[in-house]
């Protein structure tokens, strides 16, 4: 994994964390919000893992 890939991965992770924070801070944290956060994490990070880490 090159430095540019690490920077891209870090930027995507920080953006995802910021968006999850915004979703989680509004009016409690019911199961549906937790499900959306976990599902979005899978959608975002599994393809990145397969592309950059599995080589």
* 12-52 pLDDT per residue, tens: 999 999 988 888 887 777 888 889 889 999 998 898 888 87
* Residue 55: pLDDT band with limits 50, 70, 90: low
Helix (H), strand (E), coil (C) string for the chain? CCHHHHHHHHHHHHHHHHHHHHHHCCCCCCHHHHHHHHHHHHHHHHHHHHHHCCC
Q: pTM score, two decimals?
A: 0.75
């Amino acid at each position: 994994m090159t430095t540019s890939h690490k920077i891209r991965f870090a930027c995507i992770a920080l953006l995802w964390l910021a968006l999850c924070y915004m979703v989680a801070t509004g009016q409690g944290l019911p199961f549906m919000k937790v499900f959306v956060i976990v599902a979005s994490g899978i959608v975002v990070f599994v393809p990145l893992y397969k592309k950059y880490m599995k080589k």
